[in-house]
Structure 1
Amino acid sequence: MERQEKQLDFKNNEVNETINTLGLLWDPVEDCFAFRVNSVESNYDNVTKRQVMSEIAKLFDPLELLGAIIVIAKIIMQDLWREGLAWDEKLTDDQLIMWKRLRDDLPEIAKMRIPRLVKVHSAFRYEIHGFSDASMKAYGCCIYLRNVRPDGSAELHLLCGKSRVTPIKETKRQPGNELNPGEMTMPRLELCAAKLLAEQVAVVLAALEVEVDRVVLWSDSQIVLSWIENMKPDVPVFSDDPHDYRALSPGHFLIGRELNAVAEPLYDDIKENSLSRYQLIQKRKQSFWKRWSNDYLTELQRRYKWNKTPTAVRNGMMVLLKEENTPPQSWHLGRVVSVNPG
């Protein structure tokens, strides 16, 4: 491959236009990255899947500086594949509305300018700040470099972003339907966004030629923060290890971790006049637990009609082993290792 070089004379102001650098448009006068979208005819009468895919493929943004816009194109692309449209088949009305809205706004990208130089020379401290978020359609993250000056003022610059669409099996699920263990929920999507952010920060730190003093990653999901705070080192939250018996419990929502307490002895067969006040309270609690587990807990099981198929037990499922006359916090968790239909 022939190597091509171009020398630019900045002193004599010979450069007055943007330059294509590694697929990005660079304005050497303002020293910033720019974006360009080729204008097309605004004819939406016969828009096909082939035309939409061709337009989306022209959106080249390797750093995902336009992540908030690119993710909409990804959602449209996923929707076209999910509907199974042929290449030359016209879009549905809903798809056409979403595509028209995106295509009409794309020329506004040309007005955006993102500085190439992210390091402020007067700064004495550099920090990495990353943000992650998720929705039922997509999740993503963005990373900033924070330059702190000696007077306390700071200047932030966008480094990169990353976005992914929600897996199709989750977008097909209707709200209220029972979840399979492998399906996505909103907290799980938030955790996927946090994981994506952590991966991107690792890449940025390896490539950034700046001594970073502090790394701060942000998430607005309290459940995810609790998971991360209480997870074991080198063990993923969604583990496929058959010997991992951790599960999300109500205690994680109440106190941020599982409930750990010494099981009390049973007081059912002991007369109340022989019990202390504390033991009497424990007996009342055990009586309530017995009624709750026998009468109420069994009613939580979903009752299916004849046209509904119940969720089948599968290998790898986490299950709760119900035992009669067992005090609270003493039921065992188990993982299904073999299924033998009978």
Structure 2
Amino acid sequence: MRSLAKRFERDKDLLMRYNEVIQSQIKQGVVERAVEDKKETLKHYLPHHPILTPTKSITKIRVVYDASVKSKKGAQSLNESVLADIEKAFLQVGIQEQDRDVTRFLWFKDVDDVRVSEYDVYRLCRVPTPVSLSIGDNIYVGNVMLGATSVEQAYKINVESKEIFQKACMNLREWMSNSTEFLNLLPTAERSEGCVVKAFGIVWNCTDDLLQIQGVTLSDEDVSPTKREVLKVIGKIFDPLGLVTPVLFYGEVFIQELWKEGLTWDVPLPETLHKRWNSVLKKLKLISQLKVPCFIGHGIWHTVIYLRAEYQDNFKVNLIFSKLRLVSIDTENNKKLKKEITLLHLELLVVTIGVRAANFVTRELKIPSLKRTIWTDSTGVLYWLRTGKPLSLFVDNCVKEIQRQGDLFYYVPSGENPADFPTQGLTVPEIEQSRLWWSGPEWLMSSRDSWPKWQPPQPVLQDVEAETKTGMVLYECSNVVTHGKQDEKLSVYGLDETKYSTLRKLLRVICYCLKFVKKRLWDVLSESRREIIGKTYVLLAEIFNSLSDGQFICANDIKLAMLLWIYCIQQNRFHDVLSAIEENKSHCLKQQLGLKIDDLGILRCYGRFLNTTLTESAKHPKLLLLEENTLLAY
């Protein structure tokens, strides 16, 4: 409320209009004053703020009650807890009397002086628009986006959808379409005024059937150039499909430069950076001039997705999605990481991001039997995808994720690769005239049989082979294990395994101890504190984050307890081996068994099972000691 009061202090007119909306909702019974009583009901307060939409013909200002806010990590938001979801969208959906206290919010008693005003407590009686409740894949908050292949089908959808919403006392209004014939079938009162509207944040001209990305406005050019204002201006450019990624490249790189300079938020930019910002602004300003037809280098990661449709030996290819990321800058926190990541690693990450983006687009398109083909100009990545040799942990995990969907992978020369455009940066006129960007290489317009068969050049084996591993030979070494006991014995919460008749009983006791510690200590810690502890005690953090809630024990809880107990046994019996590995010193067991410490601190054997098709746990078994008085005997 303090931040809201500061905003209203700067704009008294906004305060008055906002208050009118609140008072109107009170009169209409959408909102009521909350009365304190002795009933023990769940209470939750919703933050709220105004949204201005001057382009709307009716609702130019609305109150957004943010029901997506979570009180803490792992907790459910109100949106996730309530199951249900377009005249002033969902004001007809009532809330049960006993549930209204979870929709409380605060408002000023005296709107004439919000700085010192006390607060009144209100609660919602009906669900307002911004509490987004989903009833279909084509609905988002108060907007419905539907498609049809003919005017007859469109009109049928119009009638059926209105009937469905009428049953819930809702009215679908402000219809827009790229078909004049369809609009003429509707009453004038149901049509939207004008031909330009925002469709999910992107401007749509339904008459010309063109999309437009909003660029920099004249008011943005007059702002004082500070890092805060630069981020604010670039953040206004909403391009969810990545249609103007090569142009946004200039803004993204400039932001990274500001972070490298170490400038604070509100310090004016130096003269050199000020001139560069003016140059970037000129390029971003032209984005709004770009009209898109509607259709269904080192340091930069970029992927581009095209949809290729075939009908009677005719092909149509259109850009439908792209994704751009920049490599993290050289700060003190990531210098060590940057030394470990090579150019080949970045190329592998690009392909991984491409597969993830393809998975996202595939889910959203919902096209059955969609064939996917992925091209890359990285010969090293193609080598890793096709080799049968064991790879390093990082490369192996990426390769497994990439190959999981069964896509086809091919080599494409850099000159034919449109994903290289954002690494160079393009102006709006250049991207507007680029057929390669909007439709991909020309050979995509022909059948698969006629596609070029490029043979990737031989990769630099020195860099590629550095990520492969050779299997180690295991030896019989029962005589080298020391059976002596240490003076200080590490155990789980002081438990003595000799006092339990079965392993199952021991593990269940450990589970109850873990659940107690999780509830009383771990769950009350802040997110930042958990991250700090997790960096030092990786295994405990993983256990507490994966442990089930409630008093009952599940199979996964038993596995976590077993993992913790194995960790304690290894710390007691193989302390010298662990020290040798951490200090990079030689040890007989380390060489003979190929011992390594995994990400959770567990000692594992990396030997001749590497080339098998066994599970990861079976390939790299945990090292244990068979001893008379030890319960875990393997």
User: How far apart are the structure 1 equivalents of 2:210 and 2:231?
Assistant: 29
1:67 aligns with: 245
| Equivalent AA in structure 2 for residue 66 of structure 1 | V
1:252 and 1:231, CA in 2 relative to 1: closer, same or farther beyond 3 A? farther
1:138 Cα deviation after fit: 1.8
- Residue aligning to 1:280: none
Judge conservation of contact 1:230–1:257 (CA < 8 Å) in 2.
no
Does residue 169 (structure 1) correspond to residue 354 (structure 2)? The answer is no
Q: Is it true that 1:99 corresponds to 2:277 in the alignment? A: yes
Residues 196 and 17 of structure 1, relative CA distance in 2, 3 Å threshold: same
Structure 1 residue 259: deviation in Å?
9.5
Q: SS of 2:218's equivalent?
A: coil
Could you say which residue in structure 2 is the equivalent of 1:221?
378
> Distance in 2 between the 1:202 and 1:95 partners?
39
AA aligned to 1:206 is R
- 1:239/1:253 Cα in 2 relative to 1: closer, same or farther (>3 Å)? closer
Please report how far the alpha carbon of residue 61 of structure 1 lies from its aligned counterpart in structure 2 after TM superposition: 1.3
Cα distance in 1 for residues equivalent to 2:470 and 2:340: 28
1:215 maps to amino acid: R
Letter in 1 for 2:300: A
TM value normalised by structure 1: 0.58
Structure 1 position 155, deviation (Å) = 1.4
Q: 1:56/1:157 Cα in 2 relative to 1: closer, same or farther (>3 Å)?
A: same
Q: 2:228 aligns with which of 42, 50, 65?
A: 50
Task: Report if the CA contact (8 A) 1:169-1:183 is conserved.
Answer: no
* 2:209–2:293 CA contact under 8 A, matched in 1: yes
CA–CA separation in structure 1 for the residues paired with 2:470 and 2:228: 57
Correspondence for 1:8 among 168, 176, 181: 176
> Matched residue of 2:260: which SS?
helix
**TM-score normalised over the length of structure 2:** 0.34
In structure 2, what is the Cα distance between the partners aligned to 1:148 and 1:231?
35
Secondary structure in structure 1 of the residue aligned to 2:269: coil
Aligned partners of 1:142 and 1:160 also within 8 Å: yes
1:138 & 1:92 partners in 2: Cα distance? 26
Say if 1:101 and 1:334 are closer, same or farther in 2 by CA, change over 3 A. farther
Q: Cα–Cα, structure 1 residues 59 and 232, in superposed 2: closer, same or farther, change >3 Å?
A: farther
SS in 2 for 1:95: helix
Which amino acid is 2:367 matched to?
V
Structure-2 change in CA distance of 1:45 and 1:108 (3 Å): closer
Residue equivalent to 2:365: 208
Q: Give the drift of 1:59.
A: 0.9
Q: Which amino acid aligns with 1:169?
A: D
Match of 1:140 in 2: 302
Is the 1:190–1:221 Cα contact (8 Å) retained in structure 2? yes
- How far is the alpha carbon of 1:150 from its aligned partner? 1.9
Q: 1:26 to 1:42 in 2, by over 3 A?
A: closer
**Number of positions where the alignment pairs a residue of Structure 1 with one of Structure 2:** 251
* Deviation at residue 83 of structure 1 after TM alignment: 2.3
Specify whether residues 165 and 316 from structure 1 end up closer, same or farther in structure 2 by C-alpha distance, changes over 3 A only: farther
Write the distance in 2 (CA, Å) between the matches of 1:255 and 1:216. Answer: 26
Q: Is the 8 A contact 1:226 1:257 kept in 2?
A: no
Q: Which of 217-226 and 27-36 deviates more?
A: 27-36
Q: Distance in 2 between matches of 1:97 and 1:77?
A: 14
Structure 2 segments unaligned to the other structure (5+ residues): 1-127, 130-141, 144-172, 185-190, 398-458, 472-579, 587-592, 602-634
Listed as ranges, the matches of 1:117-156 within 5 Å are 117-118=295-296, 135-151=297-313, 153-156=314-317
Structure number with bigger Rg: 2
1:40 corresponding residue in structure 2: 218
Change (3 A) 1:254 1:28: closer
Aligned positions of 1:225-240 closer than 5 A: 225-230=382-387, 237-238=394-395
Shift of 1:70: 2.7
In structure 1, C-alpha distance between the alignment counterparts of 2:235 and 2:326, rounded to whole Å: 16
The 1:117–1:45 alpha-carbon spacing in structure 2 relative to 1, beyond 3 Å, is closer
Match of 1:128 in 2: none
Q: Do the aligned residues in 2 keep the contact of 1:44 with 1:100 (CA within 8 Å)?
A: no
Q: 1:16-72: per-residue Cα shift (whole Å, max 9, x none)?
A: 532111111111123231122243269789521122111011111122222222333
State the alpha-carbon separation in 1 of the partners of residues 241 and 388 from structure 2. Answer: 31
SS at match of 1:168: coil
CA distance in 1 between partners of 2:383 and 2:582 (Å):
24
Q: 2 CA distance for matches of 1:184 and 1:98?
A: 30
SS at match of 1:107: helix
User: RMSD over aligned Cα, in angstroms?
Assistant: 4.5
Structure ranking higher on relative contact order (CA contacts 8 Å, 6+ apart): 1
Find the counterpart in structure 1 of residue 160 from structure 2: none
Query: Residue 218 and residue 54 in structure 1: after superposition, are their counterparts in 2 closer, same or farther (change >3 A)?
Result: same
CA displacement at 1:257 relative to structure 2: 9.5
The amino acid that maps onto 1:49 is: K
Q: 1:26 aligns with which of 201, 204, 210?
A: 204
1:185 aligned onto 2:338: no
Name the CA distance, whole Å, in 1 between partners of 2:233 and 2:380. Answer: 38
Distance of 1:222 and 1:320 partners within structure 2 = 36
- Bigger proportion of residues as helix: 2
Distance 1:320 1:255, change over 3 A: farther
Q: List gaps (5 residues or longer) in structure 1.
A: 119-134, 241-248, 262-313, 322-331
